[in-house]
Chains A and B, each alone.
Chain A
Amino acid sequence: MRVLLRNPRRELDVAGPVTVAKLLNRLDLNRESVLVVRGDTLVPGDAVLADDDEVEIRPVISGGSV
């Protein structure tokens, strides 16, 4: 599957099928710090992503001045 990552923006190819939780583990990403979006829909941790899926792993941490 095609995986879009942000900050910095880059794309990866990852073999499916794989659950969202396993994908994040494989990429060493903290589930508290990201959302996984397929199309324009959120995908929960136990959802299975197919080999031909395109997903975005969207960071949710923002900072700067407060």
Chain B
Amino acid sequence: MKCTVCRGPAVIDLRRHNANFCAEHFLKLCRDQVTKAIGEHDMFEPGQRVLVAVSGGKDSLALWDILLELGYEVEGMTIGLGIGEYSDASTAASVAFAEERGLALRRIDLRDEYGYDIPTAAAVTRRVPCSSCGMSKRHLIDKAALDGGFDVVATGHNLDDEAAVLLGNVLHWQTEYLGRQAPVLPGGDGFPRKVKPLVRLSERETAAYCVIRGIDYIVDECPMAEGNRHLRYKEALNGIEAASPGTKHAFYFEFLDKAADRFRPEAAVAREDLHPCPSCGSPTVTEVCAFCRLVERVSDAEPVPVELLRAGRGRARHRAARRAAATADPGDNTNDEKVHP
């Protein structure tokens, strides 16, 4: 198999591009796609300060690397989620990436600074772990960006992420969510501007980028994400993509071109009800924001090891939840994080 550009030996075949690439030209393709996404969606300009949300996975490290290669002023931020060995390895990958390149990396640890971790939050709230995890990350990244005076937050959402979210929103006709699904989430009303420069790259491509660049990312999946709906949507889309290359790209970008604007009014209405949380000042549509309610509810709970939650599909999980909940403050189960995913 030869590189479509230079006829040298190819290392990867991309059926959706009907092309094969050697290492050099594949890296160029990735940088060109990110450049195109940044330009087409007016994400940010040279000289602006960019905060990259870093997990230690392939997407965020590839994003950080590409933005640096393109000459942008970028700083990283990572959050210790307390998900056992997985979180330790994730943080270690992020720290190693930054130290090897002499880069600034801001670090926050949920347990040290807010008195909880994700397994404990999941046990106390009895909700899927991704709920409190996503909400906590969004809150802390937003806060760090605003406090640090960054112009924009860049996240590693790739084409597969966006297509899977779109599929989920369409399957359940979540029109408000459809109205704010975009590569750029505007700032204002207490939110930082957020952008997704990897939307033109699939996750197979971001993984390949890391392998070729020698970036040591965490390959193992989050133990708490196992079997979640988002992963099932991705697998379904990949099944279609295998039979019809280019489907994921068409699904997402044709939505942006032809349908997204139809749902914008609903998203705008949801934002009208925002007011500052009396506790932390973050925008919320409920009396106190979801993050402050979560901290209030779980910070005194007995820590729940991730292994117990994973094994505990049955009795062990319920015992852990009961034990954790017994030591925590009562609270509600509402989640107002529907405004700015």
B-contacting residues of A (Cβ < 8 Å)? 6-7, 9, 30-35, 37, 40-47, 58-66
**Which of B230-238, B282-290, B294-302 interfaces with chain A?**
B230-238
- Asked if A32 contacts B11 (CB within 8 A), the reply is no
Chain A residues whose C-beta falls within 8 Å of the C-beta of B13 in the assembled complex: 44-46
Chain B binding site: helix, strand, loop or mixed by DSSP?
helix
Chain B 196-218 interface 0/1 with A at a Cβ cutoff of 8 Å (1 = within): 00000011101110011010000
- Asked if A33 contacts B57 (CB within 8 A), the reply is no
Bound: A60/B20 CA distance, A: 19
Chain A residues whose C-beta falls within 8 Å of the C-beta of B133 in the assembled complex: 64-65
Q: Told that A32-B238, A40-B214 touch, could you supply 7 new A-B pairs with CB distance under 8 A?
A: A30-B239, A32-B204, A33-B204, A42-B12, A47-B1, A60-B58, A63-B234
Selected contact of B221 from candidates A32, A33, A63, CB within 8 Å:
A63
Chain A binding site: helix, strand, loop or mixed by DSSP?
loop
- Asked if B1 contacts A66 (CB within 8 A), the reply is no
- Asked if B211 contacts A35 (CB within 8 A), the reply is yes
**Which of B36-44, B63-71, B101-109, B157-165 interfaces with chain A?**
B157-165
- Asked if B208 contacts A35 (CB within 8 A), the reply is yes
Give the shortest distance, in Å, between A27 (CB) and chain B (any CB): 14
Chain B residues whose C-beta falls within 8 Å of the C-beta of A30 in the assembled complex: 235, 238-239, 242
- How many A-B residue contacts, CB cutoff 8 Å? 102
Chain B residue nearest in CB terms to A56 = B219
Selected contact of A44 from candidates B10, B130, B160, B241, CB within 8 Å:
B10
Chain A residue nearest in CB terms to B162 = A66
What are 11 A-B pairs at a CB distance below 8 A? Answer: A30-B242, A32-B204, A35-B207, A40-B211, A41-B211, A45-B1, A60-B204, A62-B58, A62-B59, A63-B228, A64-B221
Q: Which of B9-27 contact A (CB under 8 A)?
A: 10-13, 15, 20, 23
Indicate whether B170 reaches chain A with its CB closer than 8 angstroms: no
Q: Known contacts A43-B11, A45-B1, A66-B341; decide if A61 and B130 are in contact (CB<8 Å).
A: no
Indicate whether B275 reaches chain A with its CB closer than 8 angstroms: no
- Asked if A65 contacts B241 (CB within 8 A), the reply is no
Indicate whether B49 reaches chain A with its CB closer than 8 angstroms: no
Bound: A7/B219 CA distance, A: 9
- Asked if A65 contacts B130 (CB within 8 A), the reply is yes
- Asked if B204 contacts A66 (CB within 8 A), the reply is no
Chain B residues whose C-beta falls within 8 Å of the C-beta of A59 in the assembled complex: 219, 221
- Asked if A61 contacts B224 (CB within 8 A), the reply is no
